[in-house]
Amino acid sequence: MEKGNVTLVLEFILLGFADLPNFQHLLFGIFLVIYLCILIGNGLLIVITKTNPALQTPMYFFLGHFSFLEICYTSVTFPRMLKDLWTQKRNIPFLSCAMQICFLYILGAAECLLLAVMAYDRYVAICKPLYYPLIMNHRVCVQLVIASWITGTPVQIGLTVPTFLSEFLWPNKLNHIFCDAPPLLEVACGDTYQKELSVHFTALFFVMIPFLLISVSYIKIIATILKLPSTSGKSKAFSTCSSHLMVVCLFYGSASIVYLRPKSSHSAKSDKVFSLFYTIVTPMLNPLIYSLRNKDVIAAIRKILPRCRDS
């Protein structure tokens, strides 16, 4: 490696969709609409879970916090991506890139853990219904939400800092739509094997362990549901879990493909597509999934819409 190729990097250039120069403003319009849908849809879920008396249960308490988390998660990357598409100036300062990665990973870890908490809530509700009010009291729910938010914070900060202590090659171009560790390590000089291993190990820990907890919860839930004598009881029990299960499959499926597949199978285009999937598609579909498959949420929306129209 030539010494002249190594420089003090003050900013990075996010290539994003630079290979589609004639579609920049069209993509801006599409992503702006998607972002507004995410804000409005998840914001509406937050409002109805906080204001509707029929939804003052642990399940909807967690759903409200999950919707807030989705808004925060997409807001880490979306405004910068929209700005880049509109201005076609793709440079991002070094510190902004570091903060974007750090918050993205902290919120991503929180989302994984909160999905596991929501699965545990469904497990207690279906498998231990008599003890549900005692086990899932308000204090426990608050503690579980706080634990989901803060558990991954020190680990993700500890992962981000060493990554940005590297020296980087020139040109400092990241072939991605936002700052992320894999494309960043591609422009780092020296042996990055240990840092790549740390990224994969952390992703494995925060993706697979919550996923295993979710899997165990649903195995027990399904076993309990199959023992129910009535068909209507089985149908009702399955309906309360199906929305959460669909969100889990969308989020974990795309995130696992991005961070856990072998390096040899990576490509810039596929990484962008899957990154869009778990940072955009899942947060956008979350309100639709919970609204279309939940009668209580539909009823709450029908109540709140006439109020908004009258005001």
**Four-residue CA torsion sign, 289, 225, 111, 148:** positive
What average pLDDT does the segment 90-94 reach? 85
As a whole number of angstroms, the distance between CA 130 and CA 125 comes to: 8
Question: Residue 24 belongs to what H/E stretch?
Answer: helix 24-51
Of 9-23, 42-56, 65-79, 116-130, where does mean pLDDT reach its minimum? 9-23
Taking the C-alpha atoms of residue 28 and residue 24, their distance in angstroms, rounded to an integer, is 6
Partners of 188 in the β-ladder: 168
Hey, how many other C-beta atoms are within 10 angstroms of the C-beta on 153? 15
Superfamily for domain range 3-310: Rhodopsin 7-helix transmembrane proteins (1.20.1070.10)
H/E stretch holding 91: strand 91-93
Give the H or E element holding residue 232: helix 231-260
pLDDT at 308 over 60: no
The domains of the chain are located at: 3-310
The pLDDT tens digits for 266-299 are 666 777 777 777 778 778 888 888 776 677 777 7
Distance between CA atoms of 85 and 26, rounded to whole angstroms? 9
CA–CA dist 26, 32 (Å, integer):
10
Stretch among 30-39, 143-152, 166-175, 254-263 having the lowest mean pLDDT: 254-263
SS3 (DSSP) at 230: coil
**pLDDT one-digit tens code per residue, 120-163:** 999 999 999 899 999 999 999 999 999 999 887 887 777 777 77
Cβ atoms within 10 Å, residue 171:
11
Question: Is 251:214 a contact under the CB 8 Å cutoff?
Answer: no
Handedness of CA 143, 145, 150, 156 (dihedral sign): positive
Higher pLDDT, 62 or 250: 62
Q: Reply yes or no on whether the pLDDT at 261 is more than 70.
A: no
Bridge pairing between strands 168-169 and 6-7: antiparallel
Mean pLDDT of the chain: 81
pTM of the entire structure? 0.86
Contact 226, 220 (CB under 8 A): no
pLDDT of residue 307: 60
Given CA atoms 218, 222, 250, 298 in this order, what sign does their dihedral have?
negative
Under 8 Å between Cβ of 110 and 148: yes
Q: Which of 273, 87, 262 is nearest to 177 (CA)?
A: 273
* 25 neighbors 268 (Cβ within 8 angstroms): no
